[in-house]
Amino acid sequence: MRVLDNAFHLYSQGYELARIVKLDTGHKVRVRIRRDSYERQSYAVAEVLNDNLTWTGLVSDPAELWHPGSPYLASHFGADHPARNGKPEALLNEIADRLLTRAAAVLAA
């Protein structure tokens, strides 16, 4: 698996990660994870790029599995805020890795 793009950023109500990889099978898979201040507005999905160059949903993790244990962080937090310790990004990267493993297994089947 080769990472083509990876971006983590903060927004006014939380943070998000987007990663695009090329699997060994040649498929391109995108993971999008958003941790919003509201669980119902949070999501974690992996999508495959289809022949029409649109993204098709493949696997997901319900927010109720990871949102309660994730720290709240938003763009208005100062640079010295304790939540800016790298843990939010590390958490989303763990979720992304898990989704990519599942997506690769589905596409290889």
pTM: 0.91
pLDDT at 37: 94
- The per-residue pLDDT of the chain, averaged, comes to 93
C-beta of residue 96 within 8 angstroms of C-beta of residue 89: no
pLDDT at 67: 96
Model pLDDT for residues 63-104, shown as the tens digit of each residue = 999 999 988 887 777 767 766 777 888 999 999 999 999 999
Mean pLDDT of 56-69: 96
Strands in 1-109 per DSSP E:
2-11, 14-22, 28-36, 43-49, 55-60
Percent of the chain whose predicted confidence (pLDDT) is above 70: 97
C-beta of residue 39 within 8 angstroms of C-beta of residue 68: yes
Unique residue bearing structure tokens 């790029």? 49
Mean pLDDT of 57-62: 98
Task: Determine the Cα–Cα distance for residues 24 and 2; give it in Å rounded to an integer.
Answer: 8
* Number of Cβ within a 10 Å radius of residue 48: 18
Task: Determine the Cα–Cα distance for residues 81 and 3; give it in Å rounded to an integer.
Answer: 30
pLDDT band at residue 43 using 50, 70 and 90 as cut-offs? very high
